[in-house]
Amino acid sequence: MNKEMKKTAVPKLRFPEFRAAGEWPFKNGDRVFNPISNKNHNSDLPILAITQEQGAIPRDEINYTVIATDKSVESYKVVEVGDFIISLRSFQGGIEYSNYKGICSPAYIILRKKIDVEDHFFRYYFKTDLFIQDLNKNLEGIRDGKMVSYKQFSELLLPTPSIPEQQKIAACLTTLDDLISAQSEKIEALQAHKKGLMQQLFPAEGERVPRVRFGEFEGEWEEEILRNVCSYFKGYAFQSKDYTSKGRRIVRVSDMGFDYIKDETNAIYISQEKTKQYEKWQLKKNDLIVTTVGSKPPVYDSLVGRTIVVQSKDENSLLNQNAVCLRANDKIEQGFLNILFKKDEYINFIESIIRGNANQGSIALDDLFRYKFYKPKPKEQQKIAACLTSLDDLIAAHGQQLEALKAHKKGLMQGLFPGGVV
């Protein structure tokens, strides 16, 4: 930004007590934060991983397996609670905040406030689309990514409203984050309950009879293979030039959570006039979608091979590429088939057939159709499916509430922070 530019702006949303406070002033980054390179430590501090999702966090809390030698750790920088870290991926996800005291790689730039500002105000501001756009204006190339230097950061203009207004904004967004965390914990608790129930209702490894069984059923389950029990179609490579703002929805891999199709905030569509030619790719309620590209473990939210059951609201949508739709034939109940893809055995199977590089993976359909499992008679399949599907519906409903909270937070951040400098 031009340093001679008038450094003021007004957010679209403002708390009543600050509406008469006038425009927000802006200061250059080097007037707000200093670079810190303190290497004075005895290596007994935790090594921090710098993540886009959780900020700076001790490596052992996220199963980070990179081993650092004692010699290399000597050059690591000390990070204090409240510091910010410019990482190799800040051009993608902003600048990270640390709730921990620890040490991190010397490749990172540590920022510490030099004037009185509210830490959490900047924790949120550094994640706004506007700030990330500013970061990307002039970047130095490094390896396959981009690195933001302190010089570049120092030239950025940062909003500095009054401390009380900073605190009010931070408190508002922190409260919303607490709601998001609570909603996530509800989903995790329901998923844990479902997992325990499935372990009881399905035979353990090496067995053919479940530990817990509805009273009217008996006899051993029989082994089956996926290719024998379903039909399928692969998603279509729709062209972006055909996208419209309304019409028939196109479901992409990026629209899929771990248990549900996300809401329509960022959905894409194709005009109703063109849908007839794409009927082959139309989804039905209870169809099972399997992603054929995605991340590798332990990044399970975008895992290749994750499955989503089509709900009523998404019926008649069209399936995009990089996913496959599975429909049960008369050899298995659709609901039971869908549940089989939530078992740990399926996740383990997917991990065994993933192809690709260190970050991105893919699965071949020939490999997917080799998935083996045990199944009971149709009536018992129906009973198990009915029991577990009710839990799935509850998990999906909570998942949609979580997405709504995240969308609300994103919209709130766009309003609480100015959209530009005038």
> How far is Cα 92 from Cα 37, in angstroms, rounded to an integer?
24
Which pLDDT value is given to residue 265? 67
pLDDT in tens, the chain (422 residues): 444 345 678 999 999 999 999 999 999 999 999 999 998 887 789 999 998 888 999 988 876 666 666 667 888 999 999 999 998 777 778 899 999 999 999 989 999 999 999 999 999 999 998 898 888 876 655 445 567 889 999 999 999 999 999 999 999 999 999 999 999 999 999 999 999 999 999 999 889 999 999 989 999 999 999 999 999 999 999 999 999 989 999 999 989 876 778 877 689 999 998 888 999 999 999 999 999 998 876 666 678 998 999 988 899 999 999 999 999 999 999 999 999 998 889 989 999 999 987 678 999 999 999 999 999 999 999 999 999 988 988 988 898 899 899 999 999 999 999 864 43
Which pLDDT value is given to residue 186? 97
Which pLDDT value is given to residue 145? 54
SS (H, E, C) the chain: CCCCCCCEECCCCCCHHHCCCCCEEEEEHHHHEEEECCCCCCCCCCEEEEECCCEEEEHHHCCCCCCCCHHHHCCCEEECCCCEEECCCHHHHCCEEECCCEEECCCCEEEEECCCCCHHHHHHHCCCHHHHHHHCCCCEEECCEEECCHHHHHCCEEECCCHHHHHHHHHHHHHHHHHHHHHHHHHHHHHHHHHHHHHHHCCCCCCCCCCCCCCCCCCCCEEEEHHHCEEEEECECCCHHHEECCCEEEECHHHECCCCECCCCCCEEECHHHHHHHHHHECCCCCEEEECEEECCCCHHHECCCEEECCHHHCCCEEECCEEEEEECCCCCHHHHHHHCCCHHHHHHHHHHCEECCCEEECCHHHHCCCEEEECCHHHHHHHHHHHHHHHHHHHHHHHHHHHHHHHHHHHHHHHCCCCCC
Domains, the chain = 22-160 (3.90.220.20), 181-410 (3.90.220.20)
- In the numeric block, the tokens 């920088």 are attached to 77
